[in-house]
Structure 1
């Protein structure tokens, strides 16, 4: 009796664009991310996304990871790092919005930041920042000394 199992395939097809966006600061990262965020949902529900970059900090893409309610969303570390590895990204910035408009990170925000930071270090992925965005501003973990 032959056992049939799934074949696992890994492929990567980068979309090399002339004039790629290069992230040079948390201010610029926040601007680029906000421009690519659905403004109609910024104050409605919390979303967690990851900005994927190459070794030159050129943006490969902004990948949505989760969508929650008005007060939180879950982050699955396996999906996060599967996305990073599959994209070929060597640098990342994670970002989520606070529909409440408050920029102060919660203890849950700090905990997930530390968890991602530890895993990224283990995988040799450059974790540049974790941003919280609102309609009126952004909070950068790196700028604030986290």
Structure 2
């Protein structure tokens, strides 16, 4: 049975708002045509002073036309890794109404070979995306000089 105190607390519930705001006109959004275009965009958005210092994990969110809705930084970590939470990836994707995404992270070591953790998170995001109808198009591991594309290498 509900008490009068319980009924009085209904207005103390947090309000949730789902808002996507952009200042970029649809016609001005970058178009993603290849892993190379993702790599070039990523380098423009990465801090050159930290790309070889600590690992960061970002997600590029795309619309139906493969135009960039936004870039979301999921996490920053240490020299050898960073924690990636699937819920944060998909919260951003759903909030932006993205139909696809591309994961990007750097390896401060300069090596682009995927680790076991890289392979595992790629598999998990791909599977979760199937349920939510958000397609994982690629996962890039970047350095200042080169990159590895899971899609290009047939590892997606």
With structure 2 as the length reference, what TM-score do the two structures score? 0.90
**Partner Cα distance (2:82, 2:110) in 1:** 16
Determine whether 1:5 maps to 2:17: no
The structure where helix makes up a greater share of residues is 2
Determine whether 1:78 maps to 2:87: yes
2:52 is matched with 43
5+ long unaligned stretches in structure 2 = none
Larger Rg: 2
**Partner Cα distance (2:21, 2:78) in 1:** 33
Q: Please, which moves more after superposition, 27-36 or 42-51?
A: 27-36
Q: C-alpha offsets along residues 49-96 of structure 1, whole Å, 9 cap, x if unaligned?
A: 000111101111111110000000000111111011111111110000
The one of 110, 119, 133 aligned to 1:124: 133
The CA deviation at 1:27 is 0.9
With structure 1 as the length reference, what TM-score do the two structures score? 0.96
The one of 31, 38, 45 aligned to 2:40: 31
Number of equivalenced pairs: 146
Q: C-alpha offsets along residues 9-40 of structure 1, whole Å, 9 cap, x if unaligned?
A: 22223434233210000111111111111110
5+ long unaligned stretches in structure 1 = none
CA RMSD in angstroms comes to: 1.1
